[in-house]
Structure 1
């Protein structure tokens, strides 16, 4: 717990508006990806077919879409950002690795690689000074 407090103090002291804009853009990206999971089901079926198929692929699609949409909104407003990023991390790691198991797509590898880097960054950095977390902390 002390480490998280130290990270929050460091992040709030070193925050800039550009890092908050990066956090917001990352949250919007995740939200849009969550929407695309619902709208591009044929593409997702092709990905799962190249892996040999899953018995519960519809459950997986709905879980990932819901996690991206809710997590994206929480990251945008800066509410429980580290928890939201931790929830996104297994999904994004699998999105990165799935390109090497199935058909390789350079664009998806690049997007998931950048998302993975941003996840690791925001796990350490947190939500920053211009966020709901900071506002709620100051109201106490």
Structure 2
């Protein structure tokens, strides 16, 4: 546990303001992906059933899609605001790992497979913000300055 605290402290000390704008863009991308999942669940459901991921039934896939969409909507907003950022990022990481290794990797590493590259980039940014935290332009920082405590 001491190592995690040291990493969090290092991330809090070494955080440039331009990274906050990157965090906001990341949150908007995740939020937009959640909206796209909700607006057309049949495309994602067909993609999962075509890849035969773990042999789940269509009901389980539909429930999973809605849970992922909800996690993306809420997590994206939390990341944009910089509110409990590390928690929101940790919730997103398993979803992106699943997307990279089980959904987007099957078409291959071709250049037209933009979903794979977007998923890899978002996964990398999520890990980055898990380490460095929310930054100076965030609700977490405002709460910290107001009460002297850290909430991420």
Aligned length: 139
Verify: 1:137 aligned to 2:144, yes or no.
Answer: yes
RMSD of equivalent CA atoms = 1.8
Verify: 1:57 aligned to 2:61, yes or no.
Answer: yes
Q: Which residue does the alignment assign to 1:48?
A: 48
- What per-residue deviation string (whole Å, max 9, x for no partner) do you get for residues 22-56 of structure 1? 00000000000000001122321221221225311
Aligned residues of 1:27 and 1:76 also touching (Cα < 8 A): yes
Aligned residues of 2:23 and 2:80 also touching (Cα < 8 A): yes
Aligned residues of 1:79 and 1:132 also touching (Cα < 8 A): yes
Q: CA deviation at 1:67?
A: 0.1
Going from structure 1 to structure 2, the CA distance change for 1:16 and 1:74 (only over 3 Å counts) comes to: same
Verify: 1:127 aligned to 2:125, yes or no.
Answer: no
Query: Aligned with 2:104: secondary structure?
Result: helix
Residue of structure 1 aligned with 2:105, choices 100, 107, 132: 100
Query: Aligned with 1:60: secondary structure?
Result: helix
Aligned residues of 1:71 and 1:85 also touching (Cα < 8 A): yes
Q: Any gaps of 5 or more consecutive residues in structure 2?
A: 148-152
Q: CA deviation at 1:95?
A: 0.6
C-alpha separation between the residues in 2 aligned to 1:93 and 1:12? Answer: 25
Going from structure 1 to structure 2, the CA distance change for 1:3 and 1:131 (only over 3 Å counts) comes to: farther
TM-score normalized by structure 2? 0.82
Task: Give the structure with the larger helix fraction.
Answer: 1
- What per-residue deviation string (whole Å, max 9, x for no partner) do you get for residues 78-127 of structure 1? 010000000000000011012224x4461111010001100110110000
Aligned residues of 1:11 and 1:129 also touching (Cα < 8 A): no
Greater mean alpha carbon deviation, residues 129-138 or residues 22-31:
129-138
Q: Any gaps of 5 or more consecutive residues in structure 1?
A: none
Aligned residues of 2:41 and 2:62 also touching (Cα < 8 A): no
